[in-house]
Structure 1
């Protein structure tokens, strides 16, 4: 089971996917956790999640952690399939709780009541590809496989 979770190939395609997805999600996470890039920071984001969106505090906390710690782990290729699986569920939740009512398209011109869900469809597609492929070239996941294979050979 452990081998199936951490197994990965030597392709550059998953490396590109995980670095780009991780970097974009990390920027959003840093807005939520630290208030970077015009974000609200941890306290105000948690207040938004619990009071406006209606999420339990633990869900709000998990969203923030997945978008920061999870994104950093994804970039490094640590637990790629686990993060990728989480990254299929997380944006689905965002679509359902907040963005579906705004339609498909992003609010490019400020004429809609909020952002649509097109960005999240791309996020989900990248996450599914990473779940299938693993972390690819230079993924830390390989360390877990190599240790396991070394024990088997002894």
Structure 2
């Protein structure tokens, strides 16, 4: 019985539009980045290029790079569908904390809006927005039109 209660508390959500709007917005923003890394779409590096960057330039282990890419890709899909939304938001939160801690902090706060940083160098302002959205999604749950809502039937 405790297992079922735990699962229900993780996926519990209401019919609110807030969770829906937050998770869809974040999912839509993350989707192009995910497909750049996985498939090379939108002039992205593709999986081989991303793995090379993460293991050579960012200094991550192969295992850590695989976990990071998996969290971003799977988490984006989970957000867009509203499946285990709290788990997805927690994973993406951890991923973005890691991005700040291992790479983006050294480039300062601001994104490279005016091209003053070398190519590929961005600050962490975008990452802070993602962190805030993840916290709100974690609190609100998947909301309306989510698999979580459909599973719980509430």
| TM-score, structure 1 as length reference | 0.91
Report the equivalent of 1:43. Answer: 48
Matched, 1:89 2:94: yes
- Compute the displacement of 1:58 (Å): 1.7
Task: Kindly report which structure 2 residues correspond to 1:22-101, keeping only aligned pairs within 5 A, or say none.
Answer: 22-101=27-106
Q: Cα deviation per residue 1:69-111 (whole Å; 9 max; x = unaligned)?
A: 2201111100100001111111010001110011100011111
Q: Is the 8 A contact 1:9 1:136 kept in 2?
A: yes
Q: Is the 8 A contact 1:135 1:141 kept in 2?
A: yes
Mapped partners of 1:84, 1:52: distance in 2: 26
- Compute the displacement of 1:143 (Å): 3.4
- Compute the displacement of 1:63 (Å): 1.9
Report the equivalent of 1:136. Answer: 143
Q: Cα deviation per residue 1:91-140 (whole Å; 9 max; x = unaligned)?
A: 01000111001110001111124200000000000000010110000110
Mapped partners of 1:10, 1:143: distance in 2: 10
Q: Is the 8 A contact 1:35 1:41 kept in 2?
A: yes
* Structure 1 unaligned spans of 5+: 150-154
* Structure 2 unaligned spans of 5+: 1-5
Q: Is the 8 A contact 1:74 1:80 kept in 2?
A: yes
Total equivalences in the alignment:
147
| TM-score, structure 2 as length reference | 0.91
Give runs of ≥4 in structure 1 deviating > 3 Å: none
